[in-house]
């Protein structure tokens, strides 16, 4: 290598990043402002919320996403792990052939063909047009059919009187509840869930959330980089939560 | 005799009316002080609110939960934010507790509502509209991805 080449490897990276960053920063600074729905408008089906989880990036022993969910939605339990509500939980799975162990965050998979909604007798379990599967607690009668129907055990039932609910997440005895992609945040123009935010802050970046219709969304980027899979694809539920490296 | 009857009638009307209609903007009976005490008026004309507040709430809850409409005007969270009273030390008093805003009238009219078995009876946690700026994380994430890609590219051609 001759000495008059001033562009070192380090210099090349730094300079490329500065150039790249202008290209990448500018659209992103403006994109959220355009994307956010005005408060008075109804949600539309051209928004498609989805999440991609990179299992290899998910650290065992880390509970940042779970803790963030508990705090965001006031899911304080009674120290009864069997019945306390869990909107997101961490599973440890082991490949029987290779003995390889992985940890997987499990939450409502937001199916496009949700079995919970099929079995709900009151229509309280429903899929909002933007793809969020949730419980309308005003019409939920607590029959728990949806909990039986869900192949992922993603739903919880509230067994006891609660007193410490947060304003943004009402919840109470006698109703089923589950992850709603932090619907209150999304509707107020915050395009990230508590779990994704926590995972980013922790530096793992295993969770990518976003709108499938927006080519620049984090979820679309994650889907592009790595092959994603749906769990139990044989059931054809078309989940909007997908996993890579599983 | 006729005059006496009128006066008696006036007195009776005067005694009964506070229970039904009188409202001069100051809540004499409710303990503590709320934002509503200082506000000029409710989200709709007072008389309409007295008669129809639950209609607004029932409409709003379906609009919000099913269609994602988040207007503030008839939002339940917003009613509570404005109408909840704070005691001398600034602690909010549950709005459905005895003598508080959502309870006094209902006791008189034998209305029972279960809203507060789920909905927080005092403002608690983040405000619904509080904006969390995530642009920073968002960008940082992308920059680091770019770096990863770039580094692997450079390493590849070396």
Window 27-56 of A: residues touching B by CB (8 A cutoff) are 28-29, 32, 37, 39-43
- State yes or no: pLDDT of A185 exceeds 80: yes
Nearest CA in chain B to A183: B68
Which one of B67, B129, B158 has the shortest CB-CB distance to A188? Answer: B129
pLDDT, tens digit, 9 for 90 and up, residues A6-54: 677 777 776 766 655 554 544 444 444 445 788 889 999 999 999 999 9
Does A165 touch chain B if contact means CB atoms closer than 8 Å?
A: yes
- CA distance, residue A240 to nearest chain B CA (Å): 19
Question: For position A10, what pLDDT does the model report?
Answer: 75
pLDDT, tens digit, 9 for 90 and up, residues A120-136: 999 999 999 999 999 99
Which one of B69, B120, B134 has the shortest CB-CB distance to A166? Answer: B120
3-state SS record for chain B? CHHHHHHHHHHHHHHHHHHHCCCCCCCCCCCCEEHHHHCCCCCCCHHHHHHHHHHHHHHHHHHHHHHCCCCCCCCHHHHHHHHCEECCCCCEECCCCCCCHHHHHHHHHCCCCCHHHCCCCCCCCCCCCCCCCCHHHHHHHHHHHHHHHHHHHHHHHC
Which one of B71, B137, B150 has the shortest CB-CB distance to A16? Answer: B150
pLDDT, tens digit, 9 for 90 and up, residues B60-80: 999 999 999 999 999 999 999
Phi, psi of B80 (to 5 degrees): -65, -40
Pairing of strands A133-135, B85-86: unpaired
Window 74-93 of B: residues touching A by CB (8 A cutoff) are 77, 80-81
Question: What domains does chain A contain, in order, with CATH numbers?
Answer: 33-244 (3.30.70.20)
Phi, psi of A102 (to 5 degrees): -135, 155
Rounded Cα distance between A117 and A146, Å, is: 7
| Chain A contact set for B63 (CB, 8 A) | 42
Nearest CA in chain B to A168: B128
CB contact under 8 A, A201 and B67: no
Report which of A84, A82, A50, A81 is spatially closest to residue A171, judged by C-alpha positions. Answer: A84
Q: What percent of chain A has pLDDT over 90?
A: 73
Which one of B71, B137, B142 has the shortest CB-CB distance to A24? Answer: B142
Rounded Cα distance between A93 and A33, Å, is: 40
Residues facing A101 on adjacent strands: A94
Question: For position B29, what pLDDT does the model report?
Answer: 59
Question: For position B31, what pLDDT does the model report?
Answer: 81
Mean pLDDT of A60-88: 92
Q: Pinpoint the alpha helices (H) of chain A.
A: 9-35, 64-73, 115-119, 145-149, 183-187, 194-201, 218-225
């Amino acid at each position: 290598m001759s000495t008059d080449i001033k562009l070192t490897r380090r210099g090349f990276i730094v300079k490329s990043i500065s150039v790249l960053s202008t290209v990448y920063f500018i659209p992103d600074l403006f994109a959220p402002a355009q994307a956010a729905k005005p408060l008075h408008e109804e949600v539309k089906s051209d928004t498609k919320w989805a999440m991609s989880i990179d299992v290899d990036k998910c650290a065992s022993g880390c509970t940042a996403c779970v803790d963030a969910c508990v705090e965001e939605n006031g899911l304080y339990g009674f120290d009864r792990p069997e019945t306390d509500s869990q909107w997101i939980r961490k599973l440890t799975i082991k490949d029987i052939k290779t003995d390889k162990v992985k940890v997987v965050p499990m939450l409502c998979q937001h199916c496009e063909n949700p079995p919970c909604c099929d079995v709900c007798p009151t229509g309280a379990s429903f899929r909002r047009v933007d793809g969020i599967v949730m419980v309308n607690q005003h019409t939920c009668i607590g029959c728990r059919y949806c909990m039986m129907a869900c192949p992922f055990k993603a739903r919880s039932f509230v067994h006891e009187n609660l007193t410490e609910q947060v304003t943004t997440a009402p919840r109470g005895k006698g109703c089923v509840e589950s992850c709603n992609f932090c619907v209150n945040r999304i509707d107020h123009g915050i395009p990230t869930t508590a779990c994704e935010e926590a995972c980013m802050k922790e530096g793992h970046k295993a969770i990518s959330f976003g709108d499938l219709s927006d080519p620049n969304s984090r979820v679309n980027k994650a889907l592009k980089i790595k092959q994603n899979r749906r769990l139990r694809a044989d059931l054809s539920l078309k989940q909007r939560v997908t996993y890579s490296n599983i | 005799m006729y005059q006496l009857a009128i006066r008696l009638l006036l007195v009776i009307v005067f005694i009964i009316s506070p229970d039904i209609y009188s409202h001069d903007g100051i809540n004499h009976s409710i303990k503590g002080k709320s934002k509503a005490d200082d506000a000029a008026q409710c989200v709709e004309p007072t008389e309409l609110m007295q008669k129809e507040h639950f209609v607004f709430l029932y409409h709003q809850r379906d609009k919000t939960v099913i269609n994602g409409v988040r207007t503030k005007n008839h939002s339940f969270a917003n009613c509570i934010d404005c109408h909840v009273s704070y005691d001398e030390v600034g602690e909010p008093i549950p709005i459905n507790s005895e003598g508080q805003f959502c309870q006094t009238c209902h006791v008189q009219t034998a209305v029972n509502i279960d809203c507060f078995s789920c909905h927080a009876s005092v403002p608690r946690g983040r405000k619904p509209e509080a904006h969390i700026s995530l642009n920073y994380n968002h960008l940082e994430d992308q920059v680091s991805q770019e770096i990863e890609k770039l580094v692997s590219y450079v390493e590849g051609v070396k």
